[in-house]
Amino acid sequence: MTTLIALLLALWPGFQTPAAPVAPPTPEYTIQAIRFGILPKVKITTLMPLAKDPNETFDIGVMVWLIRGGGKTILFDTGYHRQTPGFDRWNTQDYIRPDEAVKLAGIQPDDITDIIVSHVHWDHMGGIGLFPKANIWIQKDEYNYYTGASWQPGGKRAADKEDAMELLKRNIEGKVRLIDGDDREIFPGIRAYTGARHTYASQYIRVEGHPTFVLASDNCYLYRNMEEKSPIATFDITDRAANVAALERMIKLAGDKDHVVPGHDLLQFKKFPTEGRIARIK
């Protein structure tokens, strides 16, 4: 009887079996690193606490990464602009404000549709106020800790006060999207990963494509962290092993060490075609 009904329906003009939902194709994103400043002579132990020569110093870059595709204009991290204690302490050279820096790539600040914040440190989240129209994607645990428990007695403070207030304000305005955990898709082909433990719940992203890239931010400061299997500065000293495991995982997720882009390494402006402040990663 059921077969007969199915047959009659199939013969009935206008009847169509419902099509299975088709996932939208993954866009082939472009990725650019935009350098908005240089921090000269940073002690290597800041970047690699277990470095062999603790007196070595290193010039590092401060960057944002612009990702375009699928109708989105995304910033991974936002840099900084206010005269915070960090700004003076690290003696930023060759500085332009991140909203001016993105214009060099032909983007107006209001064109940024989305910001993915790797972690709350001033040099990565301090620029969110420069892009007021963007939705902000951050790990739920990172958001909760640095707007809440970190300010309590015994909490570990890592966010600048004004940055934390701007983040809270954006949430109240309905412009924060909380990512709940590891290996989560944010946009088609762009996934967030945790476990590297730079901060309470720092995240890095994998951008699928030809080739695929992992943008590490401070979960891997330098190419040397990967090459020497040497951890970055972690939330807690006991998190170093987790960070080394995360460095290995990033390489696997990217398919190649050269397709992991570290958070402060100026070498990315040598490895990829570069004009002025902008490296074309892909």
Q: Does 77 bind Zn ion (CB under 5 A)?
A: no
Q: What is the DSSP letter of 19?
A: P
The stretch among 69-77, 115-123, 227-235, 269-277 that binds Zn ion (CB under 5 A) is: 115-123
Residue 275 β-bridge partners: 278
Q: Does 218 bind Zn ion (CB under 5 A)?
A: yes
Nearer to Zn ion, 36 or 187 (CB): 36
The encoded tokens of residue 65 equal 């990464």
Chain residues 16-35 in contact with Zn ion, contact rule CB under 5 A: none
- Cα of 228 vs its chain's centroid, Å: 23
Q: How far is the CB of 124 from Zn ion (least distance, A)?
A: 6
Q: How far is the CB of 119 from Zn ion (least distance, A)?
A: 8
Q: Are 67 and 29 in contact (CB under 8 A)?
A: yes
Q: How far is the CB of 126 from Zn ion (least distance, A)?
A: 10
The encoded tokens of residue 172 equal 């109240």
Q: Does 160 bind Zn ion (CB under 5 A)?
A: no
Q: Are 140 and 178 in contact (CB under 8 A)?
A: yes
Q: How far is the CB of 22 from Zn ion (least distance, A)?
A: 40
The stretch among 37-45, 122-130, 190-198, 223-231 that binds Zn ion (CB under 5 A) is: 122-130
Q: Are 247 and 214 in contact (CB under 8 A)?
A: no
Q: Does 163 bind Zn ion (CB under 5 A)?
A: no
CA distance 9 to 29: 44
Place of tokens 């570069």: 274
Q: Does 123 bind Zn ion (CB under 5 A)?
A: yes
Q: How far is the CB of 69 from Zn ion (least distance, A)?
A: 25
Nearer to Zn ion, 125 or 187 (CB): 125
Q: Give the pairing of strands 114-116 and 135-139.
A: parallel
Interface residues with Zn ion (CB under 5 A) are 123, 218
